[in-house]
């Protein structure tokens, strides 16, 4: 899986941008990454999902951001999501 994300936290206080995956239709979630305290701007992230969960026909992905506590200006975005598999003969 590959995606582009934007994350800006004006005071770099550890507010998270979290990417998660579920292989059971959303009953349970596994964290792919928690992104904090980085310079603002578009970044590319890539994960081999099978390293985190078994692949099933009930896969879901979610992305969330939080301003905890509510003391800063946070900006988050997601774009160019690509789910792919490479097969080598």
Q: Return per-residue pLDDT of the chain as tens, 89 residues.
A: 999 999 888 888 888 999 999 999 999 999 999 998 888 889 999 999 999 999 999 999 999 988 887 788 888 899 999 998 878 87
Global pTM reads 0.86
| pLDDT computed for residue 62 by the predictor | 97
Residue 45 DSSP SS3: strand
How far apart, in whole angstroms, are the C-alpha atoms of residue 33 and residue 36?
A: 10
Nearest to 30 by CA among 51, 1, 57: 51
The answer to whether the Cα torsion of 11, 12, 15, 21 is positive or negative is positive
Tell me the C-alpha distance between 79 and 51, whole Å. Answer: 23
Residue 50 confidence (pLDDT): 95
């Amino acid at each position: 899986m590959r995606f582009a994300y934007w994350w800006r936290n004006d005071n770099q206080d550890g507010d998270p941008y979290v990417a998660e995956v579920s292989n059971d239709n959303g009953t349970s979630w596994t964290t792919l990454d928690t992104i904090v305290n980085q310079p603002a701007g578009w970044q590319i992230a890539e994960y081999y999902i099978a390293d985190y969960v078994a692949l099933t026909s009930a896969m879901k992905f979610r992305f969330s951001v939080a301003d905890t506590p509510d003391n800063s200006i946070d900006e988050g975005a997601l774009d160019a999501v690509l789910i792919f598999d490479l097969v080598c003969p």
